[in-house]
Amino acid sequence: MTGSLGHVETQRVVLASPDDPLRLRGGGRLDHVEVAYETYGELSPARDNAVFICHALTGDAHAAGLHVGSKKRGWWDNLIGPGKPVDTDQFFVISANLLGGCSGTTGPLSTDPATGAPYCLGFPMLHMSDLVAVHRRLVAHLGIERLHAAVGGSLGGMQVLQWVIDGPGALDRAVLVAASSRLSAENIAFSAIGREAIMSDPDFCNGRYVEQGVFPWRGQKVARMMAHVTYVSAQSLETKFGHRRRSRGDAWTLAPDYEVEHYLQHQGQVFLDRFDALSYLYLTRLLDYFDPFADPGTAEALRSTATRFQLTSFDSDWRFDSTQSARMAAQLEELGVAVDWAELASPHGHDSFLLQPQGYHERIAEFLG
């Protein structure tokens, strides 16, 4: 029977220390890495039923269920739970905040042990491999040798691909939704404009806004409003808002008036409460640089893997369009990797991966089952 998880808790664990630092792919190291994570379901005695959830750019560890005192369910609650496609009656589900994030895992606002102050722009540039390395440490910490699956959408799907490259024996099944192995120029362009908005905000203070007691809210709001438009489809905006205004009569104004404007204002505003500007810079930038098939070791690693891939893209997703999944599928196939790619119909653009377009959840359930 399908149900929803009840109360869940975010836990924290320290996974790197001066004695066991996290050495970064681009050089440098982190002497202290803390990770925020949640688990749902029970680990089997054989420790072979673990499914790792990889979140998207602005996600967090709270993927399913409810925190005590909150009515807001986790961001992938429709996918994860008893009897759901990622079935917590069957799987031990792990969801962790990313390195570089701002929801409990070490990131740019964490304290640099070397200075006692926040890293800010002193935080090292991250490679997708660094994010994977931290989550592999978490998996090991939980006593798991091999994952049944890793499941991720958008950035999360890209992390799943890196996970297999860095550990060809680390998982049985890789589920990538609305992902890419190399961003398009247009995709990079939108991220770059968002970063420009944040970094040119006077309250960015060269990254030291926390110490100044300010926040580059103007820039981050604009970045989010723009990103949001790219995460949905023109059709979905048209259906939802059309040309409808909130004000009545003939009085025209430069202030928000059309319903779509009020909606974007709201989206921009709520984002300020839940995300940090430096994390936004670091994690978007990591996506731009993600290009694993350009790495010499990638082909060899993938040729050796027994991991089976499932790729899903959506026909109205123009930020991570289907051609990118198609290209990735072809590259994997060429290396002898088992891959099943499908483009599903959905009017909701990139955000489709968070929703339930027809055939999507069924497809994941079948692949994991």
Interaction site with a copy of itself (CB under 8 A)? 26, 121, 125, 182-186, 188-190, 192-193, 195-197, 199-202, 218-219, 221-222, 225-226, 229, 234, 237-238, 240-243, 250, 252-254, 256-258, 260-261, 264-265, 268, 281-282, 285, 288-289, 291, 318, 321
CB of 220 to a copy of itself, least distance (A): 11
Looking at the Cβ atoms of 81 and 268, the one nearer to a copy of itself is: 268
Q: Which residues contact 261 (CB under 8 A, 6 or more apart)?
A: none
Task: Tell which residue, 247, 273, 238, has the closest CA to residue 102.
Answer: 273
DSSP state of 172: E
Looking at the Cβ atoms of 1 and 255, the one nearer to a copy of itself is: 255
Task: Tell which residue, 284, 270, 65, has the closest CA to residue 188.
Answer: 284
CB of 188 to a copy of itself, least distance (A): 5
Single out the catalytic residue among 130, 201, 276, 317: 317
Looking at the Cβ atoms of 157 and 268, the one nearer to a copy of itself is: 268
Task: Assign 8 to helix, strand or coil.
Answer: coil
Task: Assign 11 to helix, strand or coil.
Answer: strand
Looking at the Cβ atoms of 151 and 287, the one nearer to a copy of itself is: 287
CA distance 256 to 248: 13
Centre a 10 Å sphere on the Cβ of residue 15 and count the other Cβ atoms it contains: 25
> For 175, left (φ over 0), alpha (ψ -120 to 50), or beta?
beta
CB of 278 to a copy of itself, least distance (A): 9
Looking at the Cβ atoms of 238 and 366, the one nearer to a copy of itself is: 238
Q: Identify whether 348 is a catalytic site residue.
A: no
CB of 183 to a copy of itself, least distance (A): 7
CB of 90 to a copy of itself, least distance (A): 40
User: Hey, what amino acid is at 171?
Assistant: L
The two counts, helices (H) then strands (E), for the chain are 11, 12
Q: Identify whether 316 is a catalytic site residue.
A: no
- Residue found by looking up tokens 């909150």 in the block: 70
Centre a 10 Å sphere on the Cβ of residue 213 and count the other Cβ atoms it contains: 8
Q: Identify whether 350 is a catalytic site residue.
A: yes
Looking at the Cβ atoms of 282 and 360, the one nearer to a copy of itself is: 282
Single out the catalytic residue among 95, 103, 129, 154: 154
Burial 36-67 (b: 16+ CB within 10 A, else e): bbbbbbebeeeeebbbbbbbbbbbbbbbbbbe
* Angle at CA of residue 275, ends 354 and 272, nearest 5°: 105
CB of 267 to a copy of itself, least distance (A): 10
Single out the catalytic residue among 87, 103, 350, 352: 350
Looking at the Cβ atoms of 215 and 258, the one nearer to a copy of itself is: 258
CB 324 within 8 A of CB 182: yes
Taking CA atoms, 361 is separated from 55, 68, 87, 90, in Å, by 17, 27, 11, 16
CB of 60 to a copy of itself, least distance (A): 22
H or E element at residue 221: helix 217-231
Residues marked as catalytic: 154, 317, 350
